[in-house]
Each structure stands twice: as C-alpha cells, then as structure tokens.
Amino acid sequence: MADHLLEVRNLSVDFHTASGVVHAVRNISYHLDRGETLAILGESGSGKSVSSAAIMNLIDMPPGKISSGEILLDGKDLLTMNGEQRREVNGRRIAMIFQDPLSHLNPVYTVGWQMREALKTHGIGNTQAQAEALRLFKRVALPDPERALDKYPHEFSGGQRQRVMIAMALALKPDLLIADEPTTALDVTVQAEVLNLLKELQRETGMGVLIITHDLGVVSEVADRVVVMEKGQLVESGTVREVYHNPQHAYTKKLIAAAPGKGEMHEPEASGDAILSVKDARKFYGGFEALKGVSFDLKAGETVAVVGESGSGKSTLARILLRLEEADGGTAKWKGKDLFTMSPGDLFKLRRDLQMVFQDPTQSLNPRMTVYQLISEAWVIHPEILPKAKWRERVAELLGQVGLSSEHMGRYPHQFSGGQRQRIAIARALALEPQLIVCDEAVSALDVSVQAQVITLLDKLRKEMGIAFIFIAHDLPLVRDFADYVMVMQKGEVVEFGTVAQVFDNPQKPYTQALLAASLDPDPDVQAANRYARLAAAS
C-alpha cells in the first residue's frame, strides 16, 4: 500500500497547566492524499487547531506534550525527527496559512522581505527569491505586484493580506498546505475569492489541503472529506456529502441542525407608529464620509438587520444612534425627540430605553465584578427602576430569562463560557427594561450551536417583551432566521431595504445579489449548484 501524503495516527496532545492536565487532542487519526482537501470541523475548544499545530511543530513544549501517536509525512514520522529536520520540513514540504493575516504578518517588515525570507531560508539566492516573489504575487492576483512587494502588511486590505499569506505559503511549492480558519476574518465576497484561489492553486500544484474550520459552509464549498472533532476527540469522518446528509454522531447532527438559514422567514407583524425614525444620518471621520445619509423606521417589537461588509458604516450607525459618537447630520427621532441633539439630562433618561450588546462579551464585561454586580449596576445608576431590597430577586429572574440560574450570581465572567457570557451581557441590557437593543455582531464570536441558542433567546425576548432590535451582522443566514427587515449597506449608503423575504428571495440590487451569492450554504449539493451557477454567470 502506498503511503498517504499525511497520516496522523493515534495522536494525543496534553497541556500541563496550573489547574491540571488538559487533554486537548485524544487519540485521533486521519489521513490526506495529494490533490485532496480534508476539512477538520469543530467548535472552539474542540482541539481542531492543536492537531495542525502538532504537524507544524508549533506547540510550545512545555506546557504542551505529545503523549502518543505518529505524524507520517510520506511515511516518515515527523515526531521522531530532530528540531533541525522539522525546520527543514516547515515551509518546504508543509506550509500554513492562518485566520488573521494582519497579526500573522510581521508588521515592521515589507511583505516582499517576508516573501524572500521564506525562499532564502530554504537556500534560494536573493535575486532568484526576488523574481520568484514577484511571480507569486502576480499569481495570487495582487494589484500592482511590483510595488506591492515594497509595502508593509498594514497597507493592504484583509483579503489582500490573505493573498500575501497564500503566496508566501506556496513559495516553495509545498506538498501540503494547512489552512487554519483562512477566511473567518474576511467578508463573504472576499471569502469566496480566497477559497476560489486556494482551489485553483491546488489544481495547479496537486498539493493536499488540510482546512480547519468551524463553518459548515466552508466545508461544503472546498472539502472532499471531513472529520468532525468534539472536545479533543474525532467523532465522525467521511465524505462531505455523506456526513452532511447522513450524520451518525449526535454532535454532528447537532452542528448541522444548528446551521442557520433554513428556518421560516419572518413576516413583519408589528403595527403602530415607529418608535425610532432615522432620517439622513451622516458621520464624517476627517474628510472621510462614513455614513452618507441613512434613513429608516423601526416599530416596537420589530427587528431591522443591518448587513454589509467591513467599511460599510454599519457599526458607525450603531455608535451614533447610542450617542457613543456624535452624528454630523440628520435626525433620529426617538418617540418624537431627536436623540442626536438631545440634552444630557434627556439622554440620561434615554439610556434606559436604548441598550447595546457588543460582539465580544469577554471584553465588554468587567472581569473584576460578579454577575450580580454587573447586572445590578444598572440600578445603581438608575435607582428609580427598582428598590434595592428587590435587586437580588430581580437578578435571579433575569438570569432565568436568559437561561442561566440564580446560583450563577456570585461568579465572575471568566468562570463562564463565551455563550454564557453573552447571555450575561443580554441580562445586563435587560435590567434597564429597554425598548430597543442594538446588537453589534452580538453572536459572531460564538460557536454555531451557541449562536442558535442566543438567537432563540433574543427572539423570545422580542415576542414576550416587545423589544425592538437593530441587529448588525455580516452573517446572512443568521439574519434570514431572525430579522423582520433587512437593510443592506455599502460604503456608508443603504443599497437595499426590504422585508427578509423580499431581500433574500428577490434581491434587486447587484450588490445584494453578490452578497447572497457569495454566502456559503452548508449543504454541499446546494453549494455545488450555486458554484455552478456562479461559473455559468461568469463565463
């Protein structure tokens, strides 16, 4: 039997920490052949990145320790090689690209320098390295490749930086490319371009690609086979189609069920007058116009989703509505009063009605305060809401509403998981009995299964308490499941506004169509059909 390009056998990785041994990866085995793409699918903490770090010898030891197993590259065990031999393999035989290309490129050297370093490290001369770097930059379609070589990482956009990373990884024509969440930080249209580029390059070079992701859509778009990991263990493996249509393990079933974008679309049912009416909102940053006149209305119990790619102005809109930043023009009438020009006294009262839930609960919750303190702080500031004697009871009630229990009151944020922390942030927002909650990418940082739970919770609050939501997101399937109206933004302008059904089923503007087309479907058959349609449209 011929050797596989890569074969991982019974690999176990432990981390020895102060609070005991963590078994990050337990006895996993998988293999990958040339020209093939294997996806490792899993949520945070599943150990999916640890196994690839082991292949690249990137695990810090200590605290890490590979307690068992073999990693065979063309039949030779990497784990028995010495440091120098491993170093020779890295870059030349196996290359890697990462999730966040900005932090993974050295900020103080030009990208050309970093490209040449990759080549020179493995014995290629300076002039040849320069020529090769230029050729690769052309191949990954960076604009103006000659000048791009002399630029620094911060001078590129996110998608371009990932192209630089890909060019650098492919410099020595590796047999195996490991891509760790390569498109998670990118906008959907850019994600589609980058994944497409990876597939093209794979066809040209015949390399094996190991892609690590939490996104079923990415799996269905690029992978041939998939292995599913949960809590360090490999729970399922098979071809993408098999696993999607006929999942065996309970966890895989749960993951597939949690993927958003399949539920019924809402029909807006709220009636009455608008509680918030935004007209022609504008915001400048120096000479740059971040918002070019945005208008929309919102009724009680209604959800407007604001979607758009980075730089579209969607977060700026949230910040000026909450007066975290001042608007430079337009009005926003909240129950008849313009909140852009409201006096500080009125604004203080308004803070009760308007709350915000941020993207990262780890950063937005003060780590030194207990859950009780975090939630009851609202009443310290607005004492008219609730007499102190009732605080404890009400905190317990709020925790119950968001699916936590009163026992959690005395704990600190770090003792909770990401999803639980976001629930605490929501409970805190609810403490003021708001009428509008602005969610700025409130679920983007959460795992798919947790995302679904939080969305269900928000939907329940909307129905039961009549809270209106402005839901800022880049994830279209999620929006489809949750919103009443969708507002598509591009470069500070509203491109399209309509009910969910109108926008998703019958998008009018090319930009909206492009966004929807680039969005990945977890079903490999649907995704293949989309891809086919896209290619047909392109040719």
Binding site for other proteins (CB under 8 A): 56-58, 87-92, 95-96, 98, 100, 103-110, 117-118, 121-122, 152, 154, 165, 168
**Is residue 483 packed enough to be buried (19+ CB in 10 Å), middle (13-18) or exposed (0-12)?**
buried
- Return the bridge partners of 68, or none: 12
- Measured from the CB atom, the residue of 123 and 345 that comes closer to other proteins is 123
Q: Which of 365, 359, 358, 326 is CA-nearest to residue 342?
A: 326
Q: Are 454 and 422 in contact (CB under 8 A)?
A: yes
- Measured from the CB atom, the residue of 117 and 280 that comes closer to other proteins is 117
Amino acid type, 507: P
Instruction: Provide, rounded to whole angstroms, the least separation between the CB of residue 63 and other proteins.
Output: 10
- Measured from the CB atom, the residue of 55 and 478 that comes closer to other proteins is 55
Instruction: Provide, rounded to whole angstroms, the least separation between the CB of residue 516 and other proteins.
Output: 32
Q: Are 227 and 40 in contact (CB under 8 A)?
A: yes
Instruction: Provide, rounded to whole angstroms, the least separation between the CB of residue 236 and other proteins.
Output: 28
Query: CA–CA separation, 117 vs 197, rounded Å?
Result: 23
Instruction: Provide, rounded to whole angstroms, the least separation between the CB of residue 104 and other proteins.
Output: 4
DSSP H/E element including 38:
strand 37-41
Beta strand 468-473 with 37-41 is: unpaired
Instruction: Provide, rounded to whole angstroms, the least separation between the CB of residue 106 and other proteins.
Output: 4
Instruction: Provide, rounded to whole angstroms, the least separation between the CB of residue 113 and other proteins.
Output: 10
Instruction: Provide, rounded to whole angstroms, the least separation between the CB of residue 227 and other proteins.
Output: 22
State the first-to-last Cα distance of the chain, in angstroms, to the nearest integer: 42
- Measured from the CB atom, the residue of 211 and 243 that comes closer to other proteins is 211
Q: Which of 27, 20, 16 is CA-nearest to residue 65?
A: 16
Q: Which of 443, 435, 149 is CA-nearest to residue 302?
A: 435
- Measured from the CB atom, the residue of 152 and 284 that comes closer to other proteins is 152
- Measured from the CB atom, the residue of 70 and 88 that comes closer to other proteins is 88
- Measured from the CB atom, the residue of 15 and 391 that comes closer to other proteins is 15
Amino acid type, 343: S
Give the Cβ contact number of residue 23 at 10 Å: 15
- Measured from the CB atom, the residue of 108 and 389 that comes closer to other proteins is 108
Instruction: Provide, rounded to whole angstroms, the least separation between the CB of residue 101 and other proteins.
Output: 9
**Token couple for 177:** 């490319």
- Measured from the CB atom, the residue of 100 and 297 that comes closer to other proteins is 100
Helix (H, G, I), strand (E, B) or coil at 188: helix
* Edge-to-edge strands, sheet with 337-338: 288-299, 274-285, 329-334, 337-338
Instruction: Provide, rounded to whole angstroms, the least separation between the CB of residue 118 and other proteins.
Output: 5
Query: CA–CA separation, 166 vs 193, rounded Å?
Result: 12
Query: CA–CA separation, 425 vs 456, rounded Å?
Result: 15
**Is residue 289 packed enough to be buried (19+ CB in 10 Å), middle (13-18) or exposed (0-12)?**
middle
